[in-house]
Amino acid sequence: MSKSLNRVSAALTAAGIASQPIEMSADTRTAAQAAAAAGCQIDQIVKSILFQGASGQLYLFLTSGGAQISPVAASALAREPLGRADADTVRAVTGFAIGGVAPLGHLTPLPVWMDPALMAFDVVWAAAGTPRHIFAIAPQALCRAAGAVLAHFTD
């Protein structure tokens, strides 16, 4: 088992969540790929999007698979101008490669916001640290386990 997958499994266990990552037969790098693999709606997929502030701080935004993040709203939450974090920075700070960034189990704790639209579902699916592993979780449990704050930040 990869180090990334181990961290996600350990974070789920530490949060008291019984969900275990599942290896899919196809890639789950994109929300569309993950929804097809899980057999769910695209908006049941949790996208873990990282932005980097002018200060260098990374910020994590958890949103539904079909949504787009508003840079203006995200910057207002972070209280600084934001831009997309590059792949090397994402890996160094979170321990995950883009396409497998999990909403929890990061190497470095980050400020996290979660899209309230995800609360409309009984179950959502999120990346589990690799491009082929995902896990199912109740959105309320994910919000708690990720230490996320519910906030509106999508267009």
Q: What is the predicted pLDDT for the residue at 99? A: 87
What CATH number does residue 71 fall under?
3.90.960.10
Q: Is residue 114 part of a domain?
A: yes
CA distance 80 to 68: 19
pLDDT tens digits, 58-98? 999 999 999 999 999 999 999 999 999 999 999 999 999 98
DSSP 8-state class, residue 88: H
Whole-prediction pTM:
0.96
- Cα→Cα distances 56→50, 82, 146, Å: 12, 9, 21
Q: What is the predicted pLDDT for the residue at 130? A: 93
- Structure tokens of 35? 């929804």
Q: What is the predicted pLDDT for the residue at 104? A: 97
Q: Which domain holds residue 53?
A: 3-150
User: Is 1's pLDDT higher than 80?
Assistant: no
pLDDT tens digits, 103-135? 999 999 999 999 999 999 999 999 999 999 999
Helix (H) or strand (E) holding 135: strand 133-137
pLDDT, averaged across the chain? 95
